[in-house]
Amino acid sequence: MLGSLQAQTPANTTSAKLPTLEEAVASRSDLWGEAALRQPDGPSYEFFEKLLPPPRYVNADFKYYPIVLSAPNNKVKARLISNGSGINLRAGSRSWHDTGTPVTFRVGPDEFLFGGLRDRLSEPTLAEGFLPIVEIRYRHASPWQSEGLVPVDQKKVYPVPEIYRLESFAGTDPALADNGVVFTKFSLAQGSNGIVTVQVGAPGPLKFADGNVTDEQGQVLACFDTRWKWERQRAQARLTPNTSATLAVPTKPIPVSARFEFTAATYGQEREACARAWRQILAQGMNVETPEPRVNNAWRQLLIQNFELINGDRVHYSAGNQYDQLYEAEGSDAALAMLMWGYERDMRRLMVPLFDFTRKGLEFHQAGFKLLNLSRYYWQTRDAAAVKELQPRWEKEARRLDENRTGPNGLFPKERYCGDIATPVYTINANAKGWRALRDLSAVLAEVGEQDEAQHYAQVASEFRKTVLTAIGESVRRETTPPFVPVALYGNEPPHDPICNVRIGSYWNIIIGYTIASGIFPAGSEEETWIPRYQEQHGGLCMGMLRAGGGAFNFWTGEHRINPLYGTRYVLDTLRRDDPEGALVSFYGMLAQGFTRNTFVCAEGCSLAPVDDGGRFFYCPPNSAANGHFLSMLRSLLVQDWDLDDDGRPETLRLLFATPRRWLNDGQTIQVEHAPTAFGEVSARVQSRLSQGEVSAEVELPRRQTPRQTLLRLRVPEGWQVKSAQVGSQTLEIDARGTTDISGLKGKFTVRFQVEKHQ
């Protein structure tokens, strides 16, 4: 039962009463998203934050979501339970994979489970807001005079309860990374008399010598500094305000022959090395600084998470659970997001396993992704050598799409409706995406000098588009407004209304975005908005995120759910059609209600109904594609490179087209450095001096290629208007939305905008 949970009205919102959760999920429109649009300066994190408690719980014995800890790209990954109860704890559920030796943390003389009571537990935080060095605090008072020496004239006292502080991270030293060593430090944030107990949950008797806990085979399962004592097959340390106790837990046991030496000093050295390693990785890509620290922390941590989830050269969907594997669509989304942030060498190596991946019954679906990945990679890098090196792989997929349009009406043979639904259909997604893949491949081949093949695939794509549009026209259901576009072409798929009323409708909602992104409908046509408008008007969205569920498919997460990661194409299309406010609903809805607080962990699916006032269920976190979804959104709020003339070649660059208006409040700065685009790197630094009637934008345009059209926009706060713009002595035209055409400018320059406040 949802009950009538009343959404808490956020500060600085309009005074209208917000819909309850029950009202929000019953509505065919996105009531909370619409309310966000009515707020001053539009959607915000603060508006969405108080509507629901955050994702927190998982279907595992440890209940609280795990935080994956790993060196970059490593195959051995540990999990820290987010309430601080332990490392590599057993899940007890078929959805989760157990790894390493479970190590449990207890506090106080009564050895109470760390994090056992939520009301005494803090939210986990990350060092500097984004580094994978996790701190968790837990309040647990030590009994006063517990040793029994109680004076007969005892006076009532109010001792300060102990607050235990745990800090954990994975070592990045190559000598340790392959064993997935997690370093942990305990200290007191408050109080004076703390006790920490560590249980190493290996079968059989354990031995403790020289600070090492070993199993019967002599393998090292844990290492402790000199503050720990061993008793009752447990390690225990006393803490005072000025002391700490450290340990190291290898996820893969360390052979005694490795001679790993651990001391209190080791912890600090490894912590510094960990922070340095991750900063170096972040420095390789685009840098973004916005006026919102939470946004800045999010993009950094999400990139770090995805490097933690990469397994060698395979970008896995998750880690430590049933999704700890490669998937074509979701893996491509995660990899492409990293490409958009400048990790081009990583995209190059990640593409190979994505090309080699196959799953029976989805071959045409997969082929489209593989070719589109290559096309996007080429336009950003102009790496003709990679196109040549990968030719055996892309040629195989191109021929698959070219030579197998053998179904009735010229479509591909039937495939699975989607990965989870085996029902065979003539799927719109595979066919629309297949057309786009062939068309875009032809443009790439023309650029690298393969003119004959380019011409062949261009001709095939031109004919195939007509075939697909005919099939859509003959399959669309017009009894709804807007018309319903089915996944199953010529399959008599009825309109799903409301969309999530049954399971198949939920799957339609989360996969139909592949057709949106294909661009199969001509730009500016009525048809191009049929799918997104249907989602918006028939129950497909909540807080800008795609909904899923259905009364007959409630699983353990509840009947009403969101699947944020599959909204990438909906949001990017919203931005292509230049609807920034609509995109910002999705952006802030995801940031506030798709992620955990502070740690930015997401999952494939998340319940809307809370378990309690502390959180909601979500399924098998973390999730690399969900991380990629947010990264793609943020990048596209700031920098967009588009093929708007529909020829397969990007020609338009749009800068700062969808930034939140509050980001240009007086005194604020937006900075984008080394943003990769299809034309080369672009940088911009915008400083708002509204009180002086000016906003300045320092811009450095791409040098490799000049876009046919380059546009710059200033989205100033409500009540303000951009009146004019100048570069040196040159006056630029400004439209009503604060947009100016800077196509005639080159290199580095400063645009000075004059702004006025409405009277």
Domain CATH code at residue 685? 2.60.40
Would you state the pLDDT for residue 157?
80
Helix (H) / strand (E) containing 136: strand 134-139
Assigned domain for 636 exists: no
* 397 and 504 belong to one structural domain: no
What total number of domains does the chain contain?
Answer: 4
Residue pair 415/364 in contact (Cβ under 8 Å)? The answer is yes
Residues 697, 701, 706, CA angle at the centre, nearest 5°? 140
Q: State which of 461, 480, 495 marks the end of a domain.
A: 495
Residue 324 lies in a domain: no
Question: Do residues 619 and 507 share a domain?
Answer: yes
471 and 443 within one domain = yes
Rg, Å, the chain Cα set = 28
Asked whether residue 379 is domain-assigned, the answer is yes
Question: Given the DSSP bridges, would you call strands 652-655 and 709-713 parallel, antiparallel or unpaired?
Answer: parallel
The rounded average pLDDT for each run of 10 residues, N- to C-terminus, in the chain (759 residues) is 52 74 98 98 98 98 99 98 99 96 98 98 99 99 72 83 98 95 99 97 93 95 98 97 98 89 95 99 99 99 99 99 98 99 99 98 98 99 99 99 95 97 98 99 99 99 98 98 98 97 95 99 97 99 94 66 97 99 99 99 96 96 99 99 98 99 99 99 99 99 98 98 97 98 98 93
* Residue ending a domain, choose from 495, 519, 535: 495
The answer as to whether 353 is a domain residue is: no
Residue-wise DSSP of 148-159: S---TT-----P
Same domain, 379 and 489: yes
Owning domain of residue 419 = 358-495
Q: Annotate 26-79 with DSSP letters as a single string.
A: H-SS-HHHHHHHTSTTS--HHHHHTTSPPEEE-SSTT-BPEEEE--TT-S--EE
Say if residue 274 is in the same domain as residue 300. Answer: no
> Which pLDDT score, from 0 to 100, does residue 258 have?
85
Look at residues 714, 658, 705 and name the one whose alpha carbon lies nearest to residue 681.
705
pLDDT at 1: 38
Q: Are residues 23 and 147 in the same domain?
A: no
Domain boundary, last residue among 467, 495, 523: 495
Residues 437 and 474 in one domain: yes
641 located within any domain: no
Tell me how far the alpha carbon of residue 507 is from its chain's centroid. 20
Enumerate long-range contacts of 576-583, CB under 8 Å, 24 or more apart.
576/640, 576/642, 576/644, 577/528, 577/529, 578/657, 580/637, 580/657, 580/658, 580/659, 580/715, 581/37, 581/42, 581/43, 582/37, 582/544, 583/633, 583/636, 583/637, 583/658
Same domain, 60 and 184: yes
The answer to whether residue 30 is domain-embedded is yes
How many whole angstroms separate alpha carbon 375 and alpha carbon 676?
15
Residue 155 has what pLDDT?
83
472 and 500 in a single domain? The answer is: no
Same domain, yes or no: 250 and 111: yes
pLDDT value, residue 152: 82
Residues 482 and 624 in one domain: no
Is residue 565 one of the residues assigned to a domain?
yes
Instruction: Report if residue 471 sits inside a domain.
Output: yes
**What one-character-per-residue DSSP string does 494-536 give?**
PP-SSGGGSHHHHHHHHHTHHHHHHT-SPTTSGGGGHHHHHHH
719 lies in the same domain as 749: yes
> Which pLDDT score is estimated for 4?
42
